[in-house]
Structure 1
Amino acid sequence: MSKCDTIILLCFCFSCPYKIVFSLNVSKMSLVLRRTYLKAKNNLLSSSNGNNSLPSPLLTFAPRMVSDDKSGNNPHFSSSTILIENGFNVQELPVIIKRLKNLSDIDDKPNEEQSTSGHDSQNYQLIQEEFKQCLDLRDVFSLLSKCTKITPNIALGAIERIYDIEKNPSTLFLDSKTMNINLAKGAILDKLLKVVLKTEDTQTILNILNTMSSFMDPYKYKFHDELLLRVIDNKLSIEQLCEFTTFLISNKSDVKYSDSIDKLWVGFVAREHEIDETNIVQVFDILNGLKVSKRIILTLLEQKLCDLWSKIKVPVMQDIMSTFVQEKYLSVQSFGVVGSWLCANIHALDEDSLLDIISKLTRLKYTDDQIEKAVEKYMKLKGSRIESHVLVVGILNFCMQFQICNEIILNACSDYLLRNWQIVPPSFYKSVIYPYGYLYFEPVNGSVFWNLIDKILNEKFDKICSSDLSLMTLSLIYIGQYPASLVSRMLSPEYLSKVNNAEVMKRFCLIDTAMTLQCDKYMGPLLPKDQWPKPISQDFRIRNILEKIMESLVLAAGGEDKLSIAVSVPYLPSDETYLLDVMLHPAGLGSSTVNWKSKSVRNENIAILIHLPDHYCSNNEHLIGPQVMKKTHLKILGMKVVSLKYSLLSQFYTSFNKAGLKEYLTEKINNAEPCT
């Protein structure tokens, strides 16, 4: 049997007198469920030889005959569940099963909707105008009696006019004839509603369901049930399925509606071929209201996104990404498609669109080479014409989030700041200044850029909060810029008296120490030393890898008595900057006996630093500013420095390559960077 064949599966259940027929088009993943009432239970028992599962390369459907509608109050359908296997994933999903009175009704009816009378649809406005001339119920019913055939649109027009008359009591006359008409009104309305329900125009029923008329509220359950039947018969388009689902989600406080939401997945799977580059966003929009059926709809959407991405327009992709953010969605496959789309459509984005997409990618914590390439292309072609400082801030936040040290992007942003620094509010200064030091990037116009930064920070000093000011000052120190006058103002008693944040004070201490060590013109230290330093905790990943490679490390060091783990440099702030992952020293001289202030023992001790992946920029080669400053300070303190890559150490360990690990450690220790 080919994949395109339609498979009919008959399943029998002894617990209830029904037969289920599953019609599955494997290539389209379309599923139509039928449930037929058997008049004689004995016939069921005598013919119960059907299978209970359907193997398929794509999906396996295994029905469970557990009806949720045990009361049988609904004569048209009942509820059950079905097991679906997709690869290694098995999921139980709710389904609606249509009840048929005769076995002959099993034959599929055409799925496509018959078009409604064009003449009737075009003249619906005329029908409404005609009914508006009716002053009371008697006029409405008189007009109905003149119709040779009451079409759904005529019935709907009559219902709307009856509702309008009911809202205006002044139009009601209490003569005997009118009272008789009022008594017959209920029966007439029921007949009119039945006419509307028979319409082939599903959109008309959806419009009624979405109406805010309180007059129609008692009848909405009937329209809801009719739409469910049409979902089973595959008569709703993708747009109509989305509209119906949206209605159910917005009214999920009603149990009847909330119970139906996750049963509509069958319609989406059956109509998946209708999902295109325009309406795919409507399907994404309903995800927030789905529960058990969300996974199967997501699987479907992921595949369609892969097929359609090259045709998707900018606004549609923005809306899809909004859904990703709202759902906290994580899919490398779908995000990779977004990267390909952005790279192909970057020329079509204006500033607002790019900002929106970049901000959403930042919130989703995703980037790849194609996304970076797209942003680089935009900045290269349009960077000199950017007007919005918010876009520049968004791009720099993106670079910070993923530690992207891209020369073209960062240079374009620095050029923008040089041209437009007057229009950038002080609250955005940190976002446009801090990335350069943190990423250890020197702009092509370096001296001009840093002089401007120093000028801005001094001129706007009183308008910048202490937290932002401390971070920007550290950023300058990371890159080798020493704003002595700015630091003196920051660490003045008058300014410090206004700071009550412990984290900011910790940064101030680090700034004071860094300036004292690195800047000859700095008249420091200006802050008192911490008499009760707190212990610094070593990163658990570093502790873990050290335990695993300790044997090789001891061999490379020349003995266990020649190394110490997690050594903090005394007399300096309690900061990770002054924590040595491993310290190599002469035998018997532990970290507690080292004379840290002696200048005669320079280059005698070796500080080994294990750099985690987040210690590097995205290229995994370029150390970030804080790590560069750490190495600089340790060299100033008279120590040799060895940098080891955590990723390489892990690779040696997991591959059981002890010889390679020992060679790597020995080579790095022998070529340690000397002190300055």
Structure 2
Amino acid sequence: MLLRAVFSRLPLHFASRMVLRSPISALSTIARDRPRALLCSTILVQDGSLVHELPVMVRRANDLLLQDEKGQRTSSRSKMAKKSKSGGRRGPSRRIDIETDEGTAILFGSDLDFLNEANVEQLVAGLESCYTPKGVFSLLETIIVEEINSIVAVQALRKIIELENSPRNGNRASPTSNRELVLGQVVEMIVGTQDSDTLLEALDLLTRDTISPPVNPLRDRLCDEVASRIADNEMNVAQIVEAVRIMTKFRNLEYQEVVDSLWVGLAAKESEVSAEDLVPLFRSLYSFKKSRRFVHAVLDRRLDRHLRLLSGRQIADILNTLANAAIESPETLRLANRWAAAKANTVNEQDLLDLVRTWTVTRNVDPAVEKMMETHVQARQGKTRAKEVQLPSMHEYFRSACSVLLGSWVRWFRRIMACSLKVPTLIGAMMNYCESTRIRNPVILSGCADYLAKNARSLPAGAIVSIFVPFGSLYFRPPEPISGRFWKSLEDAVAYRFLQLKPNEALDVLLAFIHLERHPVRFAEKVFRAGFLDRLFHRRNLRSLDASKTKLRLFDAAMTLECPQYAGPMIPREERPGNPDCRDARLKRIVNRIHPHLVKLAGRHYVVSKTIFLGQLPSVEFYAIDAFIYPRFGPSPSQAFSLEKQHRNLSIAVLVHLPEHFCRNSSQLMGPQVTKKRHFRKLGLRVMSLDFQTLEKIIAEPLAVARYLEERFLATEEGM
């Protein structure tokens, strides 16, 4: 009995807590020659403090019990197993007793294999000589069924499917009348094999069957046999994974029920799951639906057991698999972070690169992750300093031993070799991780800045972008000891590689300069050349084109405000006002709540407006002011007002900062927000900064809101 096999094979803490939940129900009924051998039911399984309701496959009562010669009730599979001395499906001691005049002749398993395989090559050659499905069917009909062993049956099935799928087959859409009969006999011969790999191979072949309907008796028979063997603990972990993969390819709800029931085999084989099995098992996790939580818990336990044996690539593959399948896995992330803490000093660069990319996708933030990257950056800085100490002696050696030309070539070769492809890719991946997670770690960023200062001129264009742009987003300026060398090396590298940069990437680099309060005047002329603009605007994607235009406007406005040497503005001011509807719903909601308090705070001589775009700045979301306090009888905010001293500091720009406007676990604003405040102050405005999270906590208390706004009003930053 399949359900009995489930109880007998599972560990005690599972089997003792199983309860039949729902009555046994048949799978979906379709026209078949015979009913399905397996039915679907549900049981309750307690796993620690959790109780799972899981599907399970059960045999029909008519096929389940037989009467043996002693009148005892036994299953058909147990009766078949009595032919083997070991009782197992794969037992090597199979035998047949043949009565003769001289006594009983005993034929052992090896002799059976010889008889079964004696004509295998001849039969396979006959199958290969067939060029149409009808020819294969005719050949199979002339062979005695007993002569067809599992190898020939699989070859026949493969040949039939290949010929039916071949474009040269004229009868592809009209199968022969004896097709189902012959294929049914072939499948029955395959089901009788002792080799589960052969069974899975045949099931995989049926995924390419384009003649039969999506649900058909051939698939039913093989799926039932596979589920039975897994429940009887006759398949190993790799075979269970393969069975899940194949049945998932059927893309049918009926076979999905079979897949969900295969948790039984994984639970029974839990102690046999090795470190090498974990990645394939996690990849198959998305195939489970109803039993996914239970299977995930089993895999997490085995991951915990084999954690120290896994490589960084395996950990990255596991996390990537879960991220791609949109499976939330806090326990798996916790174990991965624990692995990172233990392997911080031993992980190699390739594994670290895979991990950093995975952490970026999963937005995984943990002190162990930062510590691993800090360790790598510090180790690389130490190696670089050691090389620098040895360079003078090596240089002197080459100068004394070689000519000036040879010495120059050696120095060039050393500089190229020091900048291998893997290292800048890893540095760029770490910077991308810091930017996407808003981690402003001084150790990591300083190490990456030092690397960029030494190697910028030999880096490819894409590496320069991926390493440098996050500095602007995080508003991190290089430390003073390397600041001059950093900017000189970077500007020279950008000037040398400018034509190799994509237009969008070039604007990202220039905006990063501006966020860090640097003025890339030498690149302004290149930006507004016709060739660059043609490349920038030659886009079919309208959203991408609008984003590129916005970046160009921001660059022009920033250079006009901050750089006296810039001959701008180069882009005419737009007449149309900004669109308030593009604002974040959270900002609009909180501004509406605090607006009465701001009106009261400003007094009767001032006006408080919501979502304002100033006339002297581009009408883009970047320059939107959440609330604007200005004199009642002064110029309107949409008009260009005077920047003279007597008109400065009369108006206040109120900015509400969302959590993503700050670096993680810090009060430091991100680079774009710092630039935004600086530009408003350049226009002579006072800037009042409010924290969204603080307002959310106190918004239901009017007195607390009033006190907070008054505190922030007194702390407004004066215009420049």
State the TM-score, normalized to the length of structure 2.
Answer: 0.71
2:638 pairs with 1:639: no
Change in 2 beyond 3 A, CA 1:560/1:31 = farther
More off after superposition, 435-444 vs 514-523: 514-523
Partner of 1:471: 508
Partner of 1:164: 121
Q: How many residues align?
A: 593
2:618 pairs with 1:540: no
Partner of 1:210: 201
More off after superposition, 499-508 vs 344-353: 499-508
Cα distance in 2 for partners of 1:220, 1:406 equals 56
Partner of 1:274: 272
Instruction: Describe the SS at the equivalent of 2:647.
Output: coil
- The counterpart of 1:529, out of the listed 560, 565, 573, is 573
Q: How does 1:258-657 map to 2 (within 5 A)?
A: 260-306=258-304, 308-382=306-380, 384=383, 387=420, 388=422, 389-444=424-479, 445-492=482-529, 495-496=532-533, 498-500=535-537, 501-536=545-580, 537-558=582-603, 562-587=607-632, 591-592=636-637, 596-599=641-644, 600-653=646-699, 656-657=700-701
Change in 2 beyond 3 A, CA 1:554/1:27 = farther
Cα distance in 1 for partners of 2:218, 2:329 equals 42
Deviations 1:66-108 (A, max 9, x none): 1228799779942122154778987563523362236744999
More off after superposition, 63-72 vs 542-551: 63-72
Cα distance in 1 for partners of 2:549, 2:678 equals 22
Partners of 2:279 and 2:318 within 8 A in 1: yes
Change in 2 beyond 3 A, CA 1:657/1:531 = closer
Report the Cα offset of residue 446 of structure 1: 1.9
Report the Cα offset of residue 241 of structure 1: 2.3
Q: How does 1:56-67 map to 2 (within 5 A)?
A: 61-67=20-26
Report the Cα offset of residue 64 of structure 1: 2.3
Partners of 1:602 and 1:638 within 8 A in 2: yes
Matched letter for residue 409 of structure 1: I
Matched letter for residue 107 of structure 2: K
Deviations 1:143-175 (A, max 9, x none): xxx983241x55445444433111335999xxx
Instruction: Describe the SS at the equivalent of 1:149.
Output: strand
Cα distance in 1 for partners of 2:87, 2:280 equals 21
Report the Cα offset of residue 567 of structure 1: 1.5
Change in 2 beyond 3 A, CA 1:198/1:538 = closer
Cα distance in 2 for partners of 1:77, 1:545 equals 62
Deviations 1:284-331 (A, max 9, x none): 132243344334322432344345434434343233234224323322
Q: How does 1:166-245 map to 2 (within 5 A)?
A: 166-169=123-126, 185-189=144-148, 204-207=195-198, 209-210=200-201, 225-245=224-244
Matched letter for residue 601 of structure 1: H
Change in 2 beyond 3 A, CA 1:222/1:212 = closer
Cα distance in 2 for partners of 1:577, 1:214 equals 57
Matched letter for residue 711 of structure 2: E
Change in 2 beyond 3 A, CA 1:85/1:256 = closer
Cα distance in 2 for partners of 1:567, 1:253 equals 53
Matched letter for residue 461 of structure 1: F
Partners of 1:566 and 1:582 within 8 A in 2: yes
Any unmatched runs of 5+ in structure 2?
95-103, 130-139, 154-187, 210-216, 385-418, 538-544
Cα distance in 2 for partners of 1:78, 1:117 equals 25
Deviations 1:328-363 (A, max 9, x none): 332223222222222222333221111112112222
Partners of 1:563 and 1:590 within 8 A in 2: no
Cα distance in 2 for partners of 1:593, 1:207 equals 77
Matched letter for residue 80 of structure 1: C
Change in 2 beyond 3 A, CA 1:529/1:316 = closer
Cα distance in 2 for partners of 1:543, 1:241 equals 53
Cα distance in 2 for partners of 1:106, 1:118 equals 22
Partner of 1:41: none
Change in 2 beyond 3 A, CA 1:147/1:162 = farther
Q: How does 1:64-143 map to 2 (within 5 A)?
A: 64-68=23-27, 77-82=37-42, 84=44, 91=53, 93-97=55-59, 99-101=64-66, 104-105=73-74
Matched letter for residue 489 of structure 1: K
Cα distance in 1 for partners of 2:45, 2:648 equals 67
Partners of 1:155 and 1:196 within 8 A in 2: no
Partners of 1:159 and 1:189 within 8 A in 2: yes
Partners of 1:165 and 1:171 within 8 A in 2: no
Any unmatched runs of 5+ in structure 1?
1-9, 11-17, 33-55, 121-145, 173-180
Cα distance in 1 for partners of 2:478, 2:24 equals 69
Change in 2 beyond 3 A, CA 1:412/1:205 = same
Partner of 2:212: none
Matched letter for residue 63 of structure 1: S
Matched letter for residue 196 of structure 2: I
Partners of 1:512 and 1:526 within 8 A in 2: yes
Identity fraction in percent: 22
Deviations 1:568-604 (A, max 9, x none): 1113211234221112233565844887214212112
Partners of 1:467 and 1:504 within 8 A in 2: yes
Matched letter for residue 625 of structure 1: G
Change in 2 beyond 3 A, CA 1:648/1:106 = farther
Partners of 2:557 and 2:617 within 8 A in 1: yes
Cα distance in 1 for partners of 2:633, 2:553 equals 33
Change in 2 beyond 3 A, CA 1:602/1:78 = same
Matched letter for residue 451 of structure 1: K
Partner of 1:14: none
Matched letter for residue 333 of structure 1: E
Change in 2 beyond 3 A, CA 1:598/1:396 = closer
Deviations 1:241-297 (A, max 9, x none): 2243344445x3799966632321222233334334342333213224334433432
More off after superposition, 472-481 vs 411-420: 411-420
Partners of 1:97 and 1:232 within 8 A in 2: no
Cα distance in 2 for partners of 1:171, 1:581 equals 76
Instruction: Describe the SS at the equivalent of 2:299.
Output: helix
Matched letter for residue 232 of structure 1: A
Instruction: Describe the SS at the equivalent of 2:669.
Output: coil
Report the Cα offset of residue 526 of structure 1: 2.9
Cα distance in 2 for partners of 1:92, 1:238 equals 20
Matched letter for residue 356 of structure 2: I
- The counterpart of 2:14, out of the listed 20, 25, 30, is 30
